[in-house]
Amino acid sequence: MEMKDTSGNGINIRYYTACTGSIIQENNKCDGLKVGAAVSFTVSVEVTECPANPAERKQNFQIYPVGVNEALSIDLEMACDCPCEQSGNSGFKPDAHYCNYGGDLQCGICACHDERSGEHCECSGDADIAHLESLCKADNSSDVLCSERGNCFCGVCECQTRANPAELFSGKYCECDNFSCDRIDNKICSGNGECVCGQCACFTGWTGKACDCQTTNEACIPIGGGEVCSGSGICDCGTCRCSPNSVGKYCEDCPTCPSRCSEFEPCVQCKVFNTGPYKDGRCDAECAYSIVVEDTVEVEQASERDCSYENDQRCEVKFVYGFGSRGERRVRVQREPVCPKPVPAMAIGVGLLLGILLVGVLTLILWRLSTYFYDKKEYARFVKESNAANWNRETNPLYVTPTQTFRNPLYDS
Encode pLDDT of 155-182 as tens digits. Answer: 888 899 888 888 899 999 999 999 989 9
Here the CATH number for the domain that contains residue 230 is 2.10.25.10
Query: Rounded CA gap, 338 and 332, in Å?
Result: 16
Q: Is residue 348 part of a domain?
A: no
Whether residues 46 and 109 fall in one domain: no
Would you say residue 276 lies in a domain?
A: yes
Band (392; pLDDT cuts 50, 70, 90): low
**Nearest one of 267, 241, 355, 254 to 319, comparing CA atoms:** 267
CATH no. for residue 329?
A: 4.10.1240.30
Pick from 85, 86, 115: nearest CA to 103: 115
Q: Which residues contact 231 (CB under 8 A, 6 or more apart)?
A: 251
Quick: pLDDT tens for 318-366: 999 888 777 778 899 999 888 887 767 777 888 888 889 999 899 999 9
Any domain includes 15: yes
Give the integer Cα–Cα distance in Å for 261 and 75. 106
Taking a C-beta distance cutoff of 8 angstroms, is the pair 82, 111 a contact? Answer: no
Q: Are residues 288 and 327 in the same domain?
A: yes
- Domain with residue 69: its CATH number is 2.60.40.1510
SS3 of residue 346 by DSSP: helix
- Answer whether residue 98 shows pLDDT above 70: yes
Residue 251: how many other CB atoms lie within 10 Å: 26
- Domain span holding position 222: 216-257
- Maximum separation of any 2 CA atoms in the chain, in Å: 217
Assigned domain for 49 exists: yes
> 193 exposed, middle or buried (CB, 10 Å; 0-12, 13-18, 19+)?
buried
Domain boundary among 277, 310, 334: 334
Is the pLDDT at 62 greater than 90? The verdict is: yes
End position of a domain, from candidates 127, 158, 189 = 127
Work out the end-to-end distance of the chain between its first and last CA atoms, rounded to an integer number of angstroms.
Answer: 206
In the listed set 127, 160, 194, which residue is the last one of a domain according to the structure?
A: 127
Contact 215, 205 (CB under 8 A): yes
Residue 142 lies in a domain: no
